[in-house]
Amino acid sequence: MPSLRPLSALLLAIAAVLTAPAQADLIRPKVMILATFEEGADTGDAPGELQYWVEREKLTGSIAIPGLGHPLRYNDAGVYALVTGTCNRSGLGMMLLGLDPRFDLTRTYFMMAGIAGVDANRASVGSAAWAQWIVDGDNVNEVDAHDAPKDWPYGILPYGATHPDEPPGTGDWSMKPMVFQLDPGLVAWAFRLSKDVRLDDTPALAKYRASYAGHPNAQRPPFVLIGDTLGTARYWHGEALTRWAERWCSIYTGGRAQFTMTECEDQSIAYALHLLGRAGRVDPKRYLVLRTASNYSEPPPGTTVVESLLTGESGGTVLAAESAYRVGSPIVHSLLAHWDAYEARLPAADSP
């Protein structure tokens, strides 16, 4: 009896063609805001990463994406917002959207607008950093610090290395790429348009910043900078691990990246966009990462690591969400205002 597999494959292919939307009916977002979580409702309560975008950009439309727990929000101007989910699972949310046949995302700009922990050597709570580099911190060899050799600064080392400060060796089996460089002209353009944005502050956080003696950037009022991100699903904290993050970003980029923000999603989303780019579904160069500091990655002098881990984000989340909207919205508005040009080409550093 002949196999039915070829017939089944043909029927599935015909069904896909018949159910795929016509080219004219495809949804073509201009800008896709990426938020990793939202607490409670999308409007009217304590904000997560999504709420200010929904309220202030009037993202009143809603589209269910099969498999995602939160609907896509949008407005008629072409601004959309996706809640990706947190940590490594964020890339899966990105893939679900990227493979949805109703969308044409090949000209869409993706902008992460999320909160993060900040290196006290680089910036302060409430500050906003545009990333030039995203470094994956999940593919590691790790031993408990108690079991590590006494001369090791921490128990984390690259695959194929024999010491934490060595680059990956011949036994490096991590899934590549481990590093994602964002388009330099696009990042420079975004920074130039937003570097003078006035950021909010509170007396309580100003007092908290003052406790970071010996860290002048941590004591500054919130500001905008270019600073790179380390992505790992582990919510780590402490002085030793901050030194690891600084060193890890330097090792994997040949000294070009400067660790600034620790987060849990950018590496996963960047890899999803990398794969979707190979499939012709998106342009990975149209990716911006804006991270705003809700806490520091290490405690202030006189505070234990555990105490800082459990309480250090108190009060900083809302300020960071506000900074993300204030710094990110001029970029969104400029993309929309100059869409006739930016649909076809990326902005350069000196673009309007």
How far is residue 260's CA from residue 231's CA, in Å, rounded to a whole number?
A: 11
Ordered structural domains, the chain, with CATH: 26-138+179-234+261-342 (3.40.50.1580)
How far is residue 116's CA from residue 236's CA, in Å, rounded to a whole number?
A: 12
How far is residue 231's CA from residue 46's CA, in Å, rounded to a whole number?
A: 26
Read off the pLDDT of residues 234-259 as tens digits, 9 standing for 90 and up: 999 999 999 999 999 999 999 999 99
| 16: pLDDT strictly greater than 90 | no
User: Which position has the higher pLDDT, 90 or 19?
Assistant: 90
| 27: pLDDT strictly greater than 80 | yes
Closest CA to 251 of 151, 133, 148, 142: 133
User: Please, which pLDDT band fits residue 19 given cuts at 50, 70 and 90?
Assistant: low
How far is residue 324's CA from residue 293's CA, in Å, rounded to a whole number?
A: 9
Q: Identify the residue whose tokens are 């348009």.
A: 193
Read off the pLDDT of residues 119-132 as tens digits, 9 standing for 90 and up: 999 999 999 999 99
Cα of first residue to Cα of last residue in the chain, in angstroms, is: 67
| pTM recorded for the entire structure | 0.91
